[in-house]
Structure 1
Amino acid sequence: MTVKQLTFKDHILDLATPKIMGILNVTPDSFSDGGQFSNIDVALAAAEQMIIDGVSIIDIGGESTRPGAADVAVNDELARVIPVIEAIKQRFDILVSIDTSKAQVMTAAASAGADLINDVRALQNPGCIDIVAKTQLPVCLMHMQGLPRTMQDAPHYDDVLQDVIQFFKERIKVCEQAGIQRKNIIVDPGYGFGKTLQQNYQLLANQHELQELGLPILAGISRKSMIGNLLNRPVAERLSGSLSAAVIAAMNGASIIRVHDVKETADAINVLNATHKEIR
């Protein structure tokens, strides 16, 4: 089942073709761009360039979720993300997502104008599911085995694809029981979050099977270790691999592609879209 659109409070996102979510990390320790966008003026300039390059959603995060990352205090995370959300929403007509697993940050971000909640812990932290039900904002539920600090220690699955699908079925049921509308839910298989290299590529190859859930799929593979470890490339040299993965994810049912390199990914997806239009 292909989902055609996602409805926000004052905007409808057409998902007939894959859309791009640009990553704007306001953290000092993100694995790829830590510290680059912590200044509001720099963050605004980056947001403006993403819009020019073809982004549909800007995802703002104030806590790194790389393997081994330390937890960030609520007040520190709020101080990082809220001013940036407010500034972007005041300056630009663009959808903004808050990448957080904390209920307090979700609440403040919604008040600041965030349009989407993107939670790597799938609303499992205290209070989160109630906040989303109250705001009725769309939410992205991501699959992760373990926690960021330990998730890559020894990931194990009976069947990674079926385990991920079952996880989503259970979380979706809990969300609906809490008052979150199914039409507001996005699923993210969580590439790199508690998966081995082989398990990541098993997921990517069979990602289309997540469409049985009848919900939009978000794929975040950009610059991740599943690319670096396969190609033996440092973070700064993973663009080609990231673009390949983005196109494969889109071909396998992803409606939203979360990336660092918006312009290059937009070009790749536009070529894919043009090709699909000509298939007879």
Structure 2
Amino acid sequence: MVEPRLESPVRRIGDSSFDLSRHLAVMAIVNRTPDSFYDHGTTFSLDAAVASGVAAFDAGADLVDVGGVKFAPGEPLPVEDEIERVVPVVRALARIGPVSVDTFHAEVARAAIEAGAAVINDTTGVHDPAIAEVVADSEATLVVAHSLAAPRTQHPLPHYDDVIDDIAAFLRERVALAEEHGVPRERIIIDPGHDLNKNTRQTLELTRRLAELAENGLPMLVALSNKDFIGETLARGRDQRLTGSLAAAVFCATQGARVFRVHNVRESVDALRMIEAILGWREPAYELHNTRPEGND
């Protein structure tokens, strides 16, 4: 079990406080898009998106990540439309728990923070430094992800001299960029970017060597739920990747990951809370087995 030496393990996110040295945080996914790769638009309507977020909190999620544009290449969505998609969901869910917004637009980040978002999840690795400036002017946390391509563009046949060394160098550079624009390190989380501009073998190596990235002192988020590297490894379709996703999440937890972005909330919560209990970080929910004189099974 790798226990990373976190510089600031206790993180204040919204109205919640997390000690990431002893807690594995679950970030649920709510896609307010008509074309998301996993749910195929089932949470596109406002009511469905809010209901999905409420259900995620009820199932034990620590925070909910709301996205209005999918990561995959495609026609750009006007910023005004993205704001209209995410802000009402943020406003509704921020009353319940911490909300993250998956965006690479500074204007969307600003509107989301004003609506109550506590995290901005930039899967382009601060491609536009203005997003760091928006976060710096708030109390929000910034997730800095590794991704080589410009937003929503293809990066065919990605090459790395050494996948971990290259990712680590990229993240150091982009974290420094965020700091230069005013975001303090205690409000930064890194994401190595499973499958983002990486093929399956590269993502498997990234996962296998994840502990090397856990040494930089910042909490690490992994977003590997139901991704293609799991499907290609196990020959499973997108609705058959839960077991592989849980196995990958558990392995990443043992290698230093501390935040887990997931589709299947209840199953992921159970897996990660079980790890916490095994490590002695949390107490059992109750105890009955072999606790009475007459015995029980």
Give the TM-score normalised by structure 1: 0.93
Q: Which is richer in helix? A: 1
Corresponding residue number in structure 2 for 1:18: 24
Question: How many Å separate the matches in 1 of 2:52 and 2:14?
Answer: 24
Question: How many Å separate the matches in 2 of 1:216 and 1:85?
Answer: 24
Question: How many Å separate the matches in 1 of 2:13 and 2:223?
Answer: 21
Corresponding residue number in structure 2 for 1:192: 195
Corresponding residue number in structure 2 for 1:167: 170
User: Residue 56 of structure 1 is aligned with which of 33, 58, 62?
Assistant: 62
Question: How many Å separate the matches in 2 of 1:147 and 1:228?
Answer: 25
Question: How many Å separate the matches in 1 of 2:118 and 2:190?
Answer: 16
Corresponding residue number in structure 2 for 1:115: 118
Corresponding residue number in structure 2 for 1:31: 37
Question: How many Å separate the matches in 1 of 2:25 and 2:129?
Answer: 31
Question: How many Å separate the matches in 1 of 2:229 and 2:74?
Answer: 18
What amino acid is aligned across from residue 112 of structure 1 in structure 2? A
Match status 1:125 vs 2:123: no
What amino acid is aligned across from residue 155 of structure 1 in structure 2? P
Answer with 1 or 2: which has the greater Rg.
Answer: 2
Match status 1:218 vs 2:221: yes
**Aligned partner of residue 137 in structure 2, secondary structure:** helix
User: Residue 87 of structure 2 is aligned with which of 82, 90, 94?
Assistant: 82
Contact 1:78/1:105 (8 A) holds in 2: yes
How many residues are paired up? 275
**Aligned partner of residue 108 in structure 2, secondary structure:** helix
Instruction: Give the superposition deviation at 1:87.
Output: 1.4
Can you list the C-alpha shifts for 1:149-189, whole angstroms capped at 9, x where unaligned? 44451100100100010111111212212211011000000
**Aligned partner of residue 21 in structure 1, secondary structure:** strand
Question: How many Å separate the matches in 1 of 2:215 and 2:172?
Answer: 10
Instruction: Give the superposition deviation at 1:112.
Output: 0.3
Corresponding residue number in structure 2 for 1:105: 108
Unaligned 5+ runs, structure 2: 282-297
What amino acid is aligned across from residue 77 of structure 1 in structure 2? E
Question: How many Å separate the matches in 2 of 1:129 and 1:246?
Answer: 28
What's the % identity of the aligned pairs?
Answer: 37
Corresponding residue number in structure 1 for 2:49: 43
Question: How many Å separate the matches in 2 of 1:149 and 1:107?
Answer: 21
User: Residue 154 of structure 1 is aligned with which of 148, 152, 157?
Assistant: 157
Contact 1:221/1:258 (8 A) holds in 2: yes
Question: How many Å separate the matches in 1 of 2:40 and 2:103?
Answer: 16
Can you list the C-alpha shifts for 1:32-79, whole angstroms capped at 9, x where unaligned? 11311122222222122111211001000000003x333221111111
Question: How many Å separate the matches in 1 of 2:178 and 2:46?
Answer: 34
- C-alpha distance 9-233 of structure 1, shift in aligned 2 (>3 A): closer
**Aligned partner of residue 97 in structure 1, secondary structure:** strand
- C-alpha distance 128-148 of structure 1, shift in aligned 2 (>3 A): closer
**Aligned partner of residue 235 in structure 1, secondary structure:** coil
What amino acid is aligned across from residue 18 of structure 1 in structure 2? L
Unaligned 5+ runs, structure 1: none
Corresponding residue number in structure 2 for 1:138: 141
Corresponding residue number in structure 2 for 1:267: 270
Give the TM-score normalised by structure 2: 0.88
Question: How many Å separate the matches in 1 of 2:53 and 2:45?
Answer: 12
